[in-house]
Structure 1
Amino acid sequence: MLLLVIALENNASLLSLKQVVVFKNMLLNQLSNRLVKINCCSVHDGITGFTQYSCCNTGIQVRHASNSSNGGLGRKGIVVILPWLNAPKPAIKKYEDLYQRHGLQSLVYQANLKDFIFPKSGLQRSAVILDSLMMMSESGNDHAKIVIHSSSVGCYFYALMLHQMKNHPETYQIVRDSIAAQVCDSPVVGTLNEMAYGVGKMLSPKSQLLASLYSRLCLMYFSFAKDTVSLYDELIDTFKHHAPSAPSMICAAEDDPMQIPQAYQELHTSWEKRSTVTEKKWKQSQHAQNLRYHPEEYEKMVKELLKDAKI
């Protein structure tokens, strides 16, 4: 491993295409070993029962409360929860419970690194989520309000959703118009170098050596995937400048090693130009763990956000 890192650092410009392909396959091998299998998209209400049905033929499923008064939507609407990579179920449930206390049901989709490395695949998944929201909205008498709560790589997946809504307004305008509030927790948004650094940290949070290796493998892959790089640029621009004009909450930890201060500030500034933004940086916390370390303040902020959104 050490020799490979040295080779990447000192001889990257001399590597042959064949070597790059080998390194790319190594990276994808590591990704496939670490991916969380995503086969369920769930809508949860702890008060009533569930009805489950398959969504298209993607393996994603939607669950909704069969006894809800408006055909499966929550009493006040629905929150789309997009958690961080490998988020455990008990941690995700804390977010579901938080919003349930405020009368919202939750739809959860846990993105994986395949959605990032192959954004076209991620776009397909994002379309399934949007189609699910369309079906749920159409099942009621009127359009329910939607809250988007994204964390870490979930913020990237939200960018995929925004990209679909921007490029297919005739299909998804109803969903975009229904987004009443949005939360962006611990975003990793920046240049390709910065995003590759984030991927390395996500794949190997405990080993700096392996994290550096994965980051460099990512960058080598990007150098040959020009179409992918172009799409990344579009996604970053869409996320920063074309998010809905809805009350928003942006938060992070000051000691988060994956936090990119300049990119974070640019995101905050851009969103603030279009709507009310509540922003918070905690001095002591961890990446995407702000609810865990500051539960009372976090829930108070969410409560105020929902109040601003009239939910």
Structure 2
Amino acid sequence: MEVCRLQVVASRATIRCRRIINQSSRPLLQCVPMTFVRLDRGVHMQSITTNMQYLSNDSIKLKVDPNTMKLDQNIKKPLCLMMIYMTAKPKHVLKYADLYLTKDFDVISVSCTPTQLMWPAMGSQVIADRLLSFLESNSSEFTHPLVVHGFSIGAYLWAELLVQTPRNKKRYQPILERIAAQIWDSPADVDEVPIGAPLAVFPNNKFLQNIFRLYIRAHMKLLHNVATKHYMRATEVYHASPCKAPGLFLVSKTDPIGAEKRSRRAAASWEQLGIKCNFKCWDRSPHVQHYLRHPEEYKSVLYSHLEECGVLKNSR
């Protein structure tokens, strides 16, 4: 009876949710011409793929080989890989990217749509594969530190990249060793997908949130081999991270999506592996809004961590 009920829910919810989501979601993945846009603050943004944007203070026009993901120019600055939360608006991406752009970093923002999250083999895993190809093809050109800064579901997207690395350690471990620091702001676990995804897609519509939540739960229950097993595997690899860069966790006690207890569990697992971890937990702060609510403290904690990792010097 339980399965029959879920099938009915999934059938009804799938039709409506897919129609709504697909109206706003981009294609699953495609390479696009490197379009060049100058933003208001003087930041220059270029599309590498539909899910990867390159941001820089410099007016440089890059070209990428869509087959190898190799750039036609060397990256001459420290680079931050920013794993963005789902449905983040460009102005919010720029606000977080500015934390690094003001320190003379370049930034690559990596995003994931709801459709890509729900169908990993055609979505999130492909994005992770392209990002890994980008890092591998350009790794010899990285003469400055690499930093990973992720938000919410961006932790899962990064974990999908990590899943691929143990399959060929000789090939991929040198890439991970180039990462000097990692920062995780409100990282979301597989158990929080039914909580967080509806809020991200329909932030102001509780009715549609409830429908989408029913759909996600049915999707994860009925399509275990299509979706859920990939989420679970990514979570396992995230906790047993092959990336040994020191980690900073930024969470709050009132965030139901990026739950404090799960980040503490991840930090404990990392410390057992010899990964140094710093932890900041605010008493009250919404999901992925810690910087908006506590800007000075957020910057202080972030830059202190980057200084400890040797990425920044005299940053304040």
* Secondary structure, counterpart of 1:52 in structure 2: coil
Q: Residue deviations 1:198-229, cap 9 Å, x none?
A: 22222223343432221111111122212122
Farther off after superposition, 95-104 or 235-244? 95-104
CA distance in 1, matches of 2:55, 2:165: 24
CA distance in 2, matches of 1:171, 1:112: 29
CA distance in 1, matches of 2:3, 2:169: 43
| TM-score scaled by length of structure 2 | 0.81
Q: Residue deviations 1:234-257, cap 9 Å, x none?
A: 111111122522111101232224
Farther off after superposition, 195-204 or 19-28? 19-28
Q: Per the alignment, do residues 55 and 133 of structure 1 end up closer, same or farther by CA in structure 2, a change over 3 Å counting?
A: same
Match of 2:39? none
Is the 8 Å Cα contact of residues 13 and 212 (structure 2) preserved in structure 1? no
Match of 2:236? 237
Which residue of the other structure, out of 20, 29, 42, is the alignment partner of 1:30?
Answer: 20
Q: Does 1:270 align with 2:266?
A: no
Q: Residue deviations 1:139-197, cap 9 Å, x none?
A: 35x5x421100001211111111112233434322211111110110111143xx3222
* Secondary structure, counterpart of 2:285 in structure 1: coil
Match of 1:200? 198
CA distance in 1, matches of 2:11, 2:168: 34
| TM-score scaled by length of structure 1 | 0.82
Match of 1:189? 189
CA distance in 2, matches of 1:253, 1:88: 22
Match of 1:4? none
- For residues 242-261 of structure 1, the aligned pairs below 5 Å read 242-261=241-260
Where in structure 1 are there 5+ consecutive unaligned residues?
A: 1-10
Give identity over the alignment, percent: 18
Match of 2:210? 212
1:272 maps to a residue whose letter is E
Q: Per the alignment, do residues 14 and 127 of structure 1 end up closer, same or farther by CA in structure 2, a change over 3 Å counting?
A: closer
Q: Per the alignment, do residues 100 and 16 of structure 1 end up closer, same or farther by CA in structure 2, a change over 3 Å counting?
A: closer
Where in structure 2 are there 5+ consecutive unaligned residues?
A: 28-48, 312-316
CA distance in 2, matches of 1:62, 1:203: 33
Match of 2:56? 45
Match of 1:138? 140
> Structure 1 residue runs of 4+, over 4 Å off?
16-19, 61-64
CA distance in 2, matches of 1:210, 1:54: 39
Please state which structure has a larger fraction of its residues in helix. Answer: 1
CA distance in 2, matches of 1:186, 1:103: 25
CA distance in 2, matches of 1:184, 1:28: 30
